[in-house]
Amino acid sequence: MADTPNQYAIQDPLTQYPRPPFPRQPQEAPGSIADMDPRPDHGEESYRGFGRMEGRKALITGGDSGIGRAAAIAYAREGAAVAINYLSEEQAPDVRSLVDLIEGEGGTIVTLPGDLTDEAFCKKLIHDAHEALGGLDVLVNNAGKQTSQPSIADITTEQFDRTFKTNVYAMFWLSKEAIPLLPAGASIINTTSIQGFKPSDNLLDYASTKWAIIGFTKSLAKQLAEKGIRVNAVAPGPFWTPLQPSGGQPQDKVEQFGSEVPLGRPGQPAEIAPTYVFLATQEAGYITGEVFGVTGGNPTT
């Protein structure tokens, strides 16, 4: 995006990034960052690395765009080798531009496309990432499906099933397969949402999955504490990603997206990436079973 803010200079968070109203911009799911107005900031120009993840090996699902893309850029600039998963139909141009960016800066990125609603693929994904990276010590379960529907009567069984398989079942399959491969000191980071605490009426199935992720995170953290593996979650508020205009919200809500939070604007993916970095490092070595809200001022409790 033009005039990318310097994240490290003090500035007014109310005006740091674009504020609504935004133009209507319907897209077919899963959406593309190239067609968004304003263009999201994933940290391409704004994120500065400090070597906090040197030697780490991370798998990020939903890593081609939105929050996953921002986490991938941040991890790579912090010195980690990164593998990303995404749906095969998302390969161009978002994936290509991310690969060019990270490899152009001398980083390591492995692309592993495939459908997370398939249990066999999820199992294969973990082992492919482990082999390609030469190990695995960070798993970011970030991929999500969100489809706005005004009423429960409009949610088909197919939509409900795919939302749960993408958001919850995949997290279960991936975590279960990864745990035997993760060393002490490893980190699992799940993406939940403000919707898990304060659900919107038009996101019934999505909000239900995000509540499930909170419970999964807290329970698994207790199981894995004795192994030295930490499990935490990040709960974004309204973030400006392709998920929103490609069916995640109706177009009238896209026009005013983020206006309801105290800061009066949506968050940009670059603003949440440092939370994923923090939770992956030893700076968060005494933190497990927690949910970190990044919501523009809307409390999660």
Active site residues: 206
For the beta carbon of residue 15, count every other beta carbon within 10 angstroms: 12
* Residue among 125, 103, 48, 87 at smallest CA distance from 242: 87
Which runs of consecutive H residues, i.e. helices, occur in the chain? 66-77, 96-104, 119-133, 157-164, 170-178, 204-224, 251-255, 269-280
Is residue 266 reached through a cis peptide bond, with omega within 30 degrees of 0 on the bond before it? no
Query: Please, how many CA atoms are within 13 Å of residue 235, restricted to the half-sphere of its CB?
Result: 28
Query: Please, how many CA atoms are within 13 Å of residue 129, restricted to the half-sphere of its CB?
Result: 32
Residue 12 neighbours by CB under 8 Å, 6+ apart:
none
For the beta carbon of residue 90, count every other beta carbon within 10 angstroms: 18
Buried b (16+ CB within 10 A) or exposed e, 257-284: bbbebebebbbbbbbbbbbbbbbbbeeb
- The SS3 assignment for 6 reads coil
Tokens of residue 300, six digits: 């999660």
* Residue among 53, 113, 104 at smallest CA distance from 83: 113
Query: Angle at the Cα of 32 (from 23 to 237), degrees rounded to 5?
Result: 70
* Residue among 106, 104, 107, 95 at smallest CA distance from 69: 95
